[in-house]
């Protein structure tokens, strides 16, 4: 079963809280298809402007490892 965007949002928020970062994600942008190359089909645009790039990039990288492909619902 392919995880949903809600799974990624929950994971991101949990990891951000663990690292004491003040950011939370309400939603992610999901491409309308599952990529056959198993590259991530989602982005977290709410985190794009956050200044703690190293920590946030680590969280996103970890989330993409756990959830490379997601469905919108």
Q: Which residues pair with 26 in a beta bridge?
A: none
Residue pointed to by tokens 């756990």: 66
pTM: 0.89
Residue 71 placed within a domain: no
Q: What is the pLDDT along the chain (73 residues), one digit of tens a residue?
A: 889 999 999 999 999 999 999 999 999 999 877 666 667 889 999 999 999 999 999 999 999 999 988 988 8
**Which pLDDT belongs to residue 40?**
81
**Which pLDDT belongs to residue 2?**
82
**Which pLDDT belongs to residue 28?**
97
Quote the number of domains for the chain. Answer: 1
Residue 72 placed within a domain: no
E runs forming strands in the chain: 29-30, 42-43
Q: Residue 19 is part of which domain span?
A: 5-66
Residue 61 placed within a domain: yes
Residue 48 placed within a domain: yes
Q: Which residues pair with 71 in a beta bridge?
A: 4
Residue 44 placed within a domain: yes
CA distances from 53 to 49, 56, 57, 61 (A): 9, 5, 6, 12
Residue 73 placed within a domain: no
Query: How crowded is residue 47: how many other Cβ atoms within 10 Å of its Cβ?
Result: 20
């Amino acid at each position: 079963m392919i995880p949903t965007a809600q799974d990624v949002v929950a994971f991101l928020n949990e990891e951000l809280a663990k690292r004491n970062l003040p950011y939370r994600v309400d939603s992610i942008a999901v491409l309308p298809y599952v990529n056959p190359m198993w590259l991530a089909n989602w982005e977290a645009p709410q985190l794009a402007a956050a200044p703690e790039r190293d920590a946030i990039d680590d969280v996103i990288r970890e989330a993409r490892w756990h959830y490379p492909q997601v469905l919108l619902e």
